[in-house]
Amino acid sequence: MSAGATVVDVLLLAAGFGTRLRPLTLQRPKALLPLLGLPLLEHHLRRFLDDPLVGRVVVNGHHLADQLQAFIDAHPRRARLRFSPEPAILGTGGALAGAAALLASDPLLVQNADALFPVPPAEALAFHRARGCLATMILARSPLWPNVQVEGDRVTRIARGERLDQAFTFTGCYLISRDATAAIPRQSFHDIRDTFDRLIAVGDLAAFVWPAQGEGPLLDVGTPEAYLEAHRLCAGGGARRYGIASAAADGPPTKPARASGGYGFVAPSAIVGEGCRIDESLVLDGAIVVAGSVLRRAIVGPGARAEGWVENRVVTTLGERPIQDADEALASFARRVLALSAGPPGEARGGADAPPAEGGEPLLTRLAGDGSPRRIYRARFLGVRAVAVANPPPPARPRPDENEGFLAVREYLEGRGVRVPRLYAADLDAGMLLLEDLGDLRLYERVQELGWGRRSSSAAHEESYRQAIRFLTAMQSPGRPPFSLAAVPNPPYTEGFILEHEARYFHDELVRGFAGVDHDFGEITGECRALARAALSGIDRTTGIDRTRRPDAEAGGCGAWNDLNHAEAILAGLTFMHRDYQSRNLMLAAGGLAVIDFQGARWGPPEYDLASLLFDPYARMPGEVRERLIRFYCAAASAAGVPGIPTEPSAAWRGRLLAHAANRLMQALGAFAKLGVRLGRPGFREHIPAALEALGDCLERLEAHPRLLRLVREIRLTTARML
C-alpha cells in the first residue's frame, strides 16, 4: 500500500443488468435511472468529484453500455472521468481487474452504483491505512440486509442469502489495495465476495462501520419497491441525509397543481393531464398521464402512457409488472382467509372490539414489535379479528427459514399442551402468516400496572408465573412430540454462542456503544468464558453421546448437535430452549396464559429459560417470590423428568442458574442498547438500570468474576448520568 498517496481513485460499478428493476432497465441502465430528477450515477459523481481527496472516477458498463458511454462523454467534468467497457460481464470482482489500467491510486475505492451511502472518503481511507489490511469493507447499521459479522475491527463472516443476528449491512462500498486486486483473474468473471472470503480467512479484511453510532444513511435502489422507498426517504429535505447534493434536494418539480398527495416525482418533460392525482408515484421523462387518471404507488417509465386507475404497477413502453406492496399483499391475504364463511375457529363476529373495516376492506393496524424486522398487524375484516405477520424470506431462501421454523416450533409446543396462537393460514413463499389474535395484555403490562406491593396482585402475578413454569416443564420434558433442531434455522446454545451473542454483544452494544467506554473485550474474555462454562456445566458430554459428535466448545460449532434426536439430547442434559422466555412474550389472553415469539427456539440447558423468566429486568421480581418459584420449578421439572434438575435446588445447581442469569442479562443489555440507541426506540433504554443492577447482583453472588463485576459497576455509574 502506498502510505503517502494523497488521492484515491473511485470505481463505480454500473455494469449489471438491473434484473430486479425490469422492465425499467430494459430501456435504460440502472445507473441512469433518475432519483429526484438526476441519474443515480450523477448523484455519485457530484459527491466524489466535489471531494478533494478523490482523483479519477471510472465507471464500468456492460448492459446498455452505449448509454453510459454517451453520458460520460457528454459530462461537463469528463476530464476526470473514464469509462471501462465490459463486452462480457466480469462480475463485481472481475470489474476491478478489467478497469485496473484506468485506476492509478493504491488503495482504490469501489462503490456499487445502485446504492447511495455518503461515507466521507477521508474517514474511510484513514481507517483503512491505520488498520493495514488488504481491504476494508464499509458497513452500516441498517435493517436492509444485515449479513456481515464483525469482531473488533475485522470482518469474520459474510453470509450469502441470509440475514444474521447482530450483523452489519454492506453498503456496496469498500477500499482495496493493489496487492489484493492483483490476485483477481483478468478478463474472467469473479465475485468480489470470493476475494473477501479469502481475506477473512487470514484476518486481512477490516470493517469500517459508519457512522460510529446510529443507523447508517444507506439507500438501496435495486427494486421497484426500493426505488419508490428511496423517493419517500428523500422527501421533505431528507435527500441531504443520503448525500444527494443537488438542486433536487431542495424539492423536485412535482407540478403541484396536477400531482398531489404523498411523496412522488414528476419529470419536467412529462405530460400530465388535468384532474390527475399522483400519489406516492414516479412519472419519468417523456411519460404521459391521461387526464383524470389516478396513480398510487406507480412508476411510469420514460415515454410510457398511463391511463385510469394505476396502482402498485410499473408501466413502461416495453411491458408492465406489479410492485409488491407488502402491506397490500398482506391485506389481500388476510381478506381471503377471513372472508371464509366460518371465519377463524372460535372467533366472535362483530362487537365493539372488532368492527368491520370501511368499504369491506381489511383494516390493518400496525402493532409494535420488540426488535424483530417482522411487520405485525392486527387484521379486522367483516367483524373477524386476527394477527397478520409479514416476514418475507431472503432472495436465496435458507431451508428451513424463520417462518418455517416458527411454524415447526408452534406445532411442537401445541403438541406439548402449551397454549400458543392458532394458525389460520400461511403463505411461506411470500412470508405471510395469519394467526390467532391473543389480545394486547402481556404479563409485563399487568406487572407494570399493579406492581408487586399489594398482596392480592402479587399473588395473581405469582400464579401466572407458576403457569409459565408449568408450560416450561412441558416444553422441556421427555416424551412426544419430539423436538428437532433441523426444523429451525437456529444454532444450539454452546460456549462459543454465549461468548459471541451474549458477552460480546453486551460489550459492543452497551459498554463501548451506549456507554462509550473505551474497553478491550480481551480483558474480560477469560471471565466470560468461565461464566459460559459454569452455565453449561450441567450438560453431560459422555452419557449416551459419542463425544466425537459434539461441537467444538471453543469454536461454538453446532453441526453435531443438529443431528441429535430428542432422546439423545435429553440424555446429554439438553432440552428445548425458547431463548426469550420473559414477561413480554407471555400473553394474558382470554382463557389463560399463552406463549409467543418462540421462533428463536433451539437445544440448550434447561436452566436458561428459567433464568430468563425469573431474572427478567422488565418485571423486577422480588427475591422472596423468585425463591418460591425456583423451588416450584425444581419440584415440577424433576417430577416431569427434565434432565439435571434436582428436586430441591442444590448449591451447585443454583450457581448454574446464576451463571445463566448473568449471561441472559448481558444479552438483554446488549439488546436494550441496540434497540434503544442505535435503532431509535427509547422505550428500551429505561430498562438498562434494572438489568445492570440484576447483573451486578448475580456476579456478586457468584464471587468468581471480579473484572466483569468491576466493569458492570463502572457502567452503572456511567449510564446513571446518561439516563
Rounded to 10 deg, the angle between the 623-639 and 607-614 helix axes is 150
Whether 330 and 274 share a structural domain: no
Whether 383 and 425 share a structural domain: yes
The yes-or-no verdict on residue 506 having pLDDT over 60 is yes
| Confidence tier at 436 by pLDDT (50, 70, 90) | very high
Determine the pLDDT at residue 674: 84
- Which domain CATH number covers 634? 3.90.1200.10
B/e letters for 663-690, b = 16+ CB within 10 Å, e = fewer, are bbbbbbbbbbbbbbbbeebeebbebbeb
| Residue 227 is assigned to a structural domain of this protein | no
The yes-or-no verdict on residue 102 having pLDDT over 50 is yes
Helix, strand, or coil here: 363? strand
Percent over 90 (pLDDT), the chain: 29
- Which domain CATH number covers 215? 3.90.550.10
Whether 571 and 684 share a structural domain: yes
| Residue 123 is assigned to a structural domain of this protein | yes
Question: Which range has highest mean pLDDT (86-95, 232-241, 598-607)?
Answer: 598-607
Determine the pLDDT at residue 370: 57
The per-residue pLDDT for range 333-375, each reduced to its tens digit, is 777 677 653 344 444 333 333 333 334 444 677 776 555 667 7
Whether 496 and 402 share a structural domain: no
| Residue 263 is assigned to a structural domain of this protein | yes
DSSP string across 251-307: -----TTT--SSSEEE-TT-EE-TT-EEESEEE-TT-EE-TT-EEEEEEE-TT-EE-
Backbone phi and psi for residue 64, each to the nearest 5 degrees, phi listed first: 50, 45
The yes-or-no verdict on residue 700 having pLDDT over 90 is yes
| Residue 449 is assigned to a structural domain of this protein | yes
Whether 389 and 423 share a structural domain: yes
Q: Domain containing 411: what range?
A: 326-435
The per-residue pLDDT for range 375-425, each reduced to its tens digit, is 788 887 666 788 988 887 765 566 788 889 999 999 999 999 999 999 988
pTM above 0.85, yes or no: no
| Residue 1 is assigned to a structural domain of this protein | no
Whether 521 and 460 share a structural domain: yes
Q: 116 vs 622, which has greater pLDDT? A: 622
The yes-or-no verdict on residue 469 having pLDDT over 80 is yes
Q: 248 vs 231, which has greater pLDDT? A: 231
Mean pLDDT of 461-465: 95
Determine the pLDDT at residue 209: 86
Determine the pLDDT at residue 562: 46
Whether 392 and 458 share a structural domain: no
Whether 45 and 66 share a structural domain: yes
Determine the pLDDT at residue 352: 30
Mean pLDDT of 245-268: 49
Q: 3 vs 149, which has greater pLDDT? A: 149
Determine the pLDDT at residue 258: 37
Q: Which of 435, 469, 486 is the last residue of a domain?
A: 435
Q: Which of 291, 322, 353 is the last residue of a domain?
A: 322
| Residue 230 is assigned to a structural domain of this protein | no
Whether 163 and 306 share a structural domain: no
Rounded to 10 deg, the angle between the 192-201 and 91-98 helix axes is 90
Percent over 70 (pLDDT), the chain: 82
Mean pLDDT of 195-214: 84
- Which domain CATH number covers 404? 3.30.200
The yes-or-no verdict on residue 710 having pLDDT over 90 is yes
Whether 310 and 383 share a structural domain: no
Over the chain, what is the mean pLDDT? 81
Give the CA-trace dihedral at 168, 171, 172, 176, to 10 degrees: -70
The yes-or-no verdict on residue 249 having pLDDT over 60 is no
The yes-or-no verdict on residue 200 having pLDDT over 80 is yes
The yes-or-no verdict on residue 260 having pLDDT over 70 is no
Whether 665 and 569 share a structural domain: yes
The per-residue pLDDT for range 619-658, each reduced to its tens digit, is 999 999 999 999 999 999 999 999 889 999 999 999 999 9
The yes-or-no verdict on residue 584 having pLDDT over 90 is yes
Q: Which of 288, 322, 356 is the last residue of a domain?
A: 322
Query: Residue written as cell 444450539?
Result: 492
Q: 510 vs 223, which has greater pLDDT? A: 510
| Rg over CA atoms, the chain | 28
Query: Residue written as cell 416450533?
Result: 409
| Residue 233 is assigned to a structural domain of this protein | no
- The count of domains in the chain is 4
| Confidence tier at 261 by pLDDT (50, 70, 90) | very low
Determine the pLDDT at residue 472: 97
Whether 507 and 361 share a structural domain: no
Mean pLDDT of 694-702: 95
Determine the pLDDT at residue 252: 39
Q: 117 vs 596, which has greater pLDDT? A: 596
Mean pLDDT of 428-446: 89
Determine the pLDDT at residue 86: 82
The yes-or-no verdict on residue 106 having pLDDT over 90 is no
| Residue 195 is assigned to a structural domain of this protein | yes
Q: For residues 123 and 550, what is the distance between their CA atoms, to the nearest angstrom? A: 44
Are 653 and 645 a contacting pair, CB within 8 Å? yes
Mean pLDDT of 187-192: 80
| Confidence tier at 37 by pLDDT (50, 70, 90) | confident
